[in-house]
Amino acid sequence: MAKKTVREVDLKGKRVLCRVDFNVPLKGGKISDDTRIRESLPTLRYILQQKGSRLILMSHLGRPKDKPEPEYSLKPVAQRLAELLARPVTMAPDCVGEAVEAQAAALREGEVLLLENVRFHKAETENSPEFAARLARLGDIYVNDAFGSAHRAHASTEGVAHHLPAVAGLLMEKEIKFLGGVFENPQKPFVAIIGGAKVSTKIAVLESLLPRVSSLIIGGGMAYTFLKVQGIAVGKSLVEEDFLDTARSLLKKAGEQKVKVLLPLDHKVAAEFNEAAKAEYVAGTAIPADRIGMDIGDKTLASYREAIAAAGTVVWNGPLGVFEFPEFAKGTLEVAKMVAACKGTTVVGGGDSVAAVQKFGLADKISHVSTGGGASLELLEGKDLPGIVALADQ
């Protein structure tokens, strides 16, 4: 999956059209978390250091309904980016059109132009070839650094790459290296920790990882479906009845392939699913009929600790309990600490598990924390991502 990167092309004197992921959360018109902007800075600074280069940035923000909506304008992003780059960032009135083309053509060395939200146009999500060609007129070379949108075949993520020389940015390169490396050459033992609420959303990644892993840790709400097929009582816990056969089949395959599957051995439970619910401990695998499984217990954590500590590679996607409720956050917190302490290569992907390592202040102790929720999941599922496929191979 090796792709040509921004380091391997001559940017001198070029207008560089760069797709970034500036889809940041806004509250009252202000950015509440600028992580995605900061993640793009190494690529942007590298481009701006090349003699004579000019930078044109494009991104989406939120889900506007195919027309300009002021609350989804990238103007607050332009202000924050100017602060972080310590240089002016000009805000374009749109992302295509004569006025924008004139602005792009007039840029001087080291200047930055941020295009308005590409999703203000329906043609963006339709991947219209004409719209992609209009975007391409703004630059001489295309750099895609928006891994979080790489699983979408949109005009700014895939279409433009057919009109200009197209390479990966430094963040995209890092994502491909770590998430792609999980498939191509993982250090053994390889441990996958898959959590989250539902089997249905993770079955593809479970099936994709099964032939590659030494151990598979299954936690979160999805674990109760796996416990139920083993004849273990799960009370009122979340169970996907339509996926019982799928879970049974996966456990059978794991046995045949000699993959160790680690499921909860004890639980934190509650009478009802809400933040104020009192946590109760269940020492065995069976959950009482009137209780809901909400988190894993200490016996389970001890069984996970041994596998994670010895791992050469760990991939973690999805929380191990209802970590957003403080009473039921311990399982996810302890697993985050185990992953952070692991001496092997550690990769965390997927929105909730990324949120957990950030919430617990452990992100800097992980080898790679992915910036793309859906994109990281699809890459772990072994899928080809349109935004990556479209880039030039090494």
6-173, what's its fold? Rossmann fold (3.40.50)
- Look at 299-308, 357-366, 368-377 and tell me which has the smallest mean pLDDT: 368-377
pLDDT given for residue 28 in this prediction? 86
What pairing do the DSSP bridges indicate for beta strands 190-194 and 215-218?
Answer: parallel
pLDDT given for residue 132 in this prediction? 98
Residue pLDDT, tens place only, 50-74: 999 999 999 999 999 988 999 999 9
* pTM of the model as a whole: 0.88
- Asked, colleague to colleague, whether 6-173 and 186-380 share their fold, the answer is yes
- Active site residues per annotation: 36, 198, 351, 374
Mean pLDDT, residues 146-175 = 96
User: Domain residues of the chain, as ranges?
Assistant: 6-173, 186-380
Greatest CA separation for the chain: 70
Residue pLDDT, tens place only, 259-268: 999 999 999 9
197 neighbors 221 (Cβ within 8 angstroms) = yes
**Residue 176 to residue 22: CA distance in whole angstroms:** 19
CATH architecture of the domain with range 186-380: 3-Layer(aba) Sandwich (3.40)
Residue 317: strand, helix, or coil: strand
Band of pLDDT at residue 351, cut at 50, 70 and 90: low
User: How far does CA 391 lie from the centroid of its chain?
Assistant: 19
Residue pLDDT, tens place only, 279-300: 999 999 999 999 999 999 999 9
